[in-house]
Structure 1
């Protein structure tokens, strides 16, 4: 059987994400030579950690829930989950409680939040989009209650160490980002668990016929999302030495962007962990580069919106060709 030979247009579409990334980097190198300084590059890696780790959680949910526009996997409350976890860590650590206790408490709360999401979606059969929007608004109120709607300082030696220390010239936060990326890659791309989650998201009927507990697989992705939300919250508080109310609202757009954009860095044009890692760096490069050349923030938002439009268009066209 002869395989259809790819033409130049197909090649460009297939590697469009990498081409765009390379063009953006060249542009910033020309406009701001300091962009390529080692200190700036590792700073981009560290700045991308919070966004990328939370994006891993959402990507797992996308993989397990499938890409149906209405009933597919999604979680619009994940950054508000991160916000509540960040508020808990800041209040407890700033109040003199052990940092490990603050982090464990945040993790348990985040997992509980996602367990509620999973229950409403898997057991009550609510549409994920609607269910997680309801949770999002609920968590906005919880966040304000915890913080009294004021900035909460979190001065703690361990947080300062994580924020300011470098190992082999790379910030600790960046190392945590890389380690979490590797763990999530192994979980979703190497372990049998990842195959079961992908099968559940690809075809529920086929997965059930293969003996896969689809409900359990889908629910587990939300619980993992909760863990990722709490880890990203911990790093956010460490970087800022405080927590600012409303941080979750600001992060939602970017987390959704990196999770969708990751599909461009995949041969199958579907959300994936390596793609999300690259997409987080891509957005980190954009934010950092535009700051260096003093581009107004509203242009950055416009460009990110255009990226989502282009990403959805490319993945839709390419998936039709693949399928």
Structure 2
């Protein structure tokens, strides 16, 4: 009788899981159909939209926001999905601006490329460590902690650059902006390499799997001997390093450091939240973030090609964030109710 009871219980428990999987599959299919439809419309309205040259340009332009989104994905994975107490880093775009200012300033003052790169990466990691200290040890809500460090980063950037552009030039920057294999820009290839690196780190290494365990079930992870504080702190530091890497690409694309890097924050958050749709468990993944970042970049590119004002882009991003957050919240509530019934 005990075996029969266990079998029946397992069957009932499998039903809500199967329903959740089916819901996730329908959601993913719907999202993919929407993406295909939007791209088809742009392709019809602009004959150069799907050309290799234009797609390479989109990849090149996505490296900045995409790399920031990869870093933010790590924070959301490690901190959990709770809308208030879960992981978030509002300072990631401002960190980009600060790192870019440090890098460009060092180059303009005659420092070597190597030392300037290391200092930019160190700056990003330092701000990430400050976030980790505020969130993990001081136990300040991530929203408030990273909002504070965002303002610190913006202030330091303005002091360093006097709120003006710091131009840079050189053969290295010309090389990065040039074309590589398949006539695609080297920055496009760099973005592909970064996506592969973060994907392997999060989904195929012990660190990434443990980070997911810490974010999904922190109590169980702590019971298994995992240091929740360490993995959560590491996610913020790595997010800061990602901002440092993105700043190198940004300086190359803009030929210097320019104010206003924090304007990238909305599209970065939209990329991560929209990417949740492509996970059956409705959690952030590197693959989902990559698809979303490219989709948003293609929307911006499509608007430019058909001469639609870029001001519409922020509105589209805001609507997407609202829809995704509302939809995922409803689906999670349905999943929780089904678990309670079982």
Give me the TM-score of the superposition, normalised by structure 2. Answer: 0.90
| Alpha-carbon separation, structure 1, partners of 2:98 and 2:293 | 22
Kindly state the Cα deviation for residue 121 of structure 1 after the two structures are TM-superposed: 0.8
* Partner residue, 2:91: 77
1:51 aligns with 2:65: yes
Number of the residue aligned with 1:300: 313
Aligned to 2:206: 192
Residue 268 of structure 1 pairs with residue 268 of structure 2:
no
Q: What is residue 271 of structure 2 aligned with on the other side?
A: 258
Q: Does residue 246 in structure 1 map to residue 246 in structure 2?
A: no
SS across alignment from 1:276: helix
Larger Rg: 2
Distance apart, 1:322 and its partner CA = 4.5
Aligned to 2:48: 34
What is residue 339 of structure 2 aligned with on the other side?
A: none
For the Cα contact (< 8 Å) 1:94–1:156, is it kept in 2?
A: no
Q: Is the 8 A contact 2:27 2:277 kept in 1?
A: no
Separation (CA, whole Å) in 2 of partners of 1:294 and 1:146: 36
The structural deviation recorded for 1:11 is 5.0
- How far residue 313 of structure 1 moved from its aligned partner, in angstroms, is 2.1
Contact 1:114 1:223 (C-alpha < 8 Å) held by counterparts: yes
Query: Secondary structure of the residue that 2:307 maps to in structure 1?
Result: coil
**4+ aligned runs moved over 6 Å, structure 1:** 5-10
Distance 2:112 2:225 in 1: 44
Query: Considering only aligned residues, what root-mean-square deviation do their CA atoms show, in Å?
Result: 1.8
Cα deviation 1:12-38 (Å, max 9, x = unaligned): 423222122111100101111211111
* Offset from partner CA, 1:124-155 (integer Å, 9 cap, x none): 11111101111111111100111111111011
Partner of 1:160: 174
CA distance in 1, matches of 2:22, 2:232: 39
Q: Is the 8 A contact 1:16 1:264 kept in 2?
A: no
The corresponding residue for 1:281 is: 294
Determine the C-alpha separation between the residues in 2 that align with 1:9 and 1:112: 41
Q: Partner of 2:48: helix, strand, or coil?
A: helix
Taking the aligned partners of 2:23 and 2:132, their CA distance within structure 1 comes to 41
Q: CA deviation at 1:317?
A: 2.7
How many residue pairs are counted as aligned between the two chains? 322
Out of 126-135 and 262-271, give the one that drifted further: 262-271
Distance 2:27 2:193 in 1: 31
CA distance in 2, matches of 1:113, 1:7: 38
Unpaired segments ≥5 residues, structure 1: none
1:6 to 1:231, Cα distance in 2 relative to 1, 3 A: closer
**Per-residue deviation at 1:245?**
1.1
> Matches of 1:120 and 1:8 in 2, distance apart?
40
- Partners of 1:268 and 1:322 within 8 A in 2: no
TM-score of the aligned structures, taking structure 1 as reference length: 0.95
- CA 1:164/1:14 → structure 2, altered by over 3 Å: closer, same or farther? closer
Match of 1:220 among 225, 234, 250: 234
What is the distance in 1 between the residues matched to 2:21 and 2:94?
Answer: 44
Q: Distance in 1 between matches of 2:23 and 2:288?
A: 22
Give the 3-state SS of the residue equivalent to 1:168 in structure 2. helix
Give the conservation status (yes or no) of the 8 Å contact 1:264–1:314. Answer: no
How is 1:99-118 mapped onto 2 (pairs within 5 angstroms)? Answer: 99-118=113-132
Q: Secondary structure at the match of 1:268?
A: coil
Q: Secondary structure at the match of 1:222?
A: helix
Q: Larger deviation: 225-234 or 153-162? A: 153-162
CA gap of 1:273–1:10, structure 2 versus 1, over 3 A, is closer
SS of residue matched to 1:96: coil
Counterpart residue number, 2:190: 176
